[in-house]
Chains A and B, each alone.
Chain A
Amino acid sequence: MTDNNLVLEIKDFSFTYASADAPSLKKINLPIEENKITAMIGPSGCGKSTLLRAMNRIHDLYPGNKYEGEINLYREAQEKENILHLKKENDFIKLRQEVGMIFQKPTPFPMSIFDNVAYGLKLAGLKNKTELKDRVEKALKDAAIWKETKDRLNQSALGMSGGQQQRLCIARAVALKPRVLLFDEPTSALDPISTGAIEELISEIKSEVSMVIVTHNMQQASRLSDYTAFMYLGDMVEYDKTENIFLNPKEKLTEEYITGRFG
């Protein structure tokens, strides 16, 4: 593995919540490869969400958390930036435009479908009406919900089904052309058909964006991802190509987890 195709690189990252005495993450190391899907698995409470939420500094909405280590974001010319050093609101905004996030429950904003997708673009300063329209259309097409939405762009996004809302949220994030998308159990609130649609969508946008996906669904991790990281009690137990993790894990703990003996 060379550093050439990394988009994010987590080095010796430890994290302690403001209200907690013990760290929730202990010296985590994890590379995130460009245009690949990295799955994070592990039993509840092992720190998957905590790690994911460090990658766009969304933790920083709440004061008092303590962390150390490095999370490097690689930009075009191989230059890297430790995002843990960011302090200014403007830098956070820029980071979050580059590193998008999709949550467990769909989170449409209380506005129209069009405005939901245009929202991030408008925040980023895009004002030109035709360009906005084009970008929104492209994002909805990329997220494979253009057909369902093109006749109701001006209706409230709250009237869509859960699965459609989640795809809208992905479209909304994709519209910003992020370098990385973080998914925290994006399908665990959805029915199997919507889940299938989301999975298909995720593998389709892989050519454009690198993705990290937290999931409790082993099949999902093995179907979708190129790399898998297994975490346990705040430790990164094992990280490898997905087929190795599922077929030939090095650690006993990993094997026990994926064969369903605990967790």
Chain B
Amino acid sequence: MSGKLFRNFSFLSATLSFFILVGIFAVLFTYAQDAMHEFGFDFLFNETWEADEDDEGGIFGGFIPIIGTLLSTLIAMLIATPLAMGISIFLTEIASETIAKPVSIAIELLAAIPSIIYGMWGLFYFAPIVHDIFGGNGVGLLTAGIVLAIMIIPFMAAITRDSMNTTPQVLKESAYAMGATKFEVIKDVVMPYAKGGIIGSIILALGRALGETMAVAFLIGSVMSLPGKITDPTTSIPVLLANNFAEAQDLEMSSMYFLALILFVVSFFIISIAKFYFLGKPVKVKK
């Protein structure tokens, strides 16, 4: 009896999450209709974001926030991926247990810090450093990208470390037994074995970087202009949405839903690919 109840309950929860997903999509899609009809495909390439005087209409294009999102994410990924790989290799293959344990815990704690704290820290501590080293006025693409990288590194490193840890000890031993060096064992055995997890963690981190709002809102500068160089301020989709949502009306509102829809669909695909294609599939090894 209670088993049946439980089954029904879990069935309900599972379907509920599916309906929420569909519901969100439906809402975004419906509210984005006006903008879709008005601007169509050109929305993606139009740099203008201007409401008319009367606030009724205007010209809205998503090019700048889309580019800002892509570039800040790209910078973050370029910095984070090698560092996260390095950290996980260090933790699984190089560090002794007495070092690996506390570092692992620290990394998991870092992954749990709310993003607004990264944003504040980045603004007050990191932006001046970026300004001193690279010029610009402190906030901008580069600062946002670097702090995004710092945010996703722990997350990437933790997943990658876990999948590297699944490499059977005896497999590594047999590579050593053939005269492999530590570097060769990592390159030829551990990395291929953990490939699925590594790619999965990269894609999940990508999804997270794309959608990050608070930290980026503090750091990217939030101005509607294309960045000419890497230290220039610009904006991103989530930041634009957060900043303009309160005042926007009609067509501008609909355009923002259009942007949200784009972000939603892209993130959804990225995360599905990561989850179902890479993370769901353990390496096949015959027993």
Contacts and interface: CB of A to CB of B under 8 A. Distances in A.
A100 B178 contact: yes
Interface residues of A, number: 32
Contacts of B173: 58, 61, 101, 103, 107
Interface string B161-180: 00000001011111111111
A6 B179 CA distance: 23
B181 A107 contact: no
Nearest to B97: A63
Contacts of B285: 158
Interface stretch (B30-38, B186-194, B261-269): B186-194
Nearest to B192: A110
Interface in A80-115: 89, 93-94, 96-97, 100-101, 103-107, 109-111
B229 interface: no
A127 B284 CA distance: 30
Given A107-B170, A109-B171, A158 B284 contact: yes
Nearest to B191: A110
A205 interface: no
A110 B193 contact: yes
Interface in B243-287: 283-287
B184 interface: yes
Contact of B178 (A63, A111, A119, A158): A119
A171 to B, nearest CB: 12
Contact of A120 (B168, B179, B189, B193): B179
Interface in B142-171: 168, 170-171
Interface in A35-78: 56, 58, 61, 63
B177 A109 contact: no
Interface size class of B (residues with CB under 8 A): 20 to 34
Contacts of B283: 110, 158
A61 B188 CA distance: 17
A103 B170 contact: yes
Given A110-B192, A119-B188, A169 B179 contact: no
A93 B170 contact: no
B28 to A, nearest CB: 41
A52 to B, nearest CB: 11
B286 A162 contact: yes
B96 interface: yes
Interface in A201-222: none
B178 to A, nearest CB: 4
Interface of A: 56, 58, 61, 63, 89, 93-94, 96-97, 100-101, 103-107, 109-111, 119-120, 123-124, 158, 160-162, 165, 169, 172-173, 176
9 contacts: A107-B168, A109-B171, A109-B189, A120-B179, A124-B179, A158-B285, A161-B286, A165-B286, A169-B174
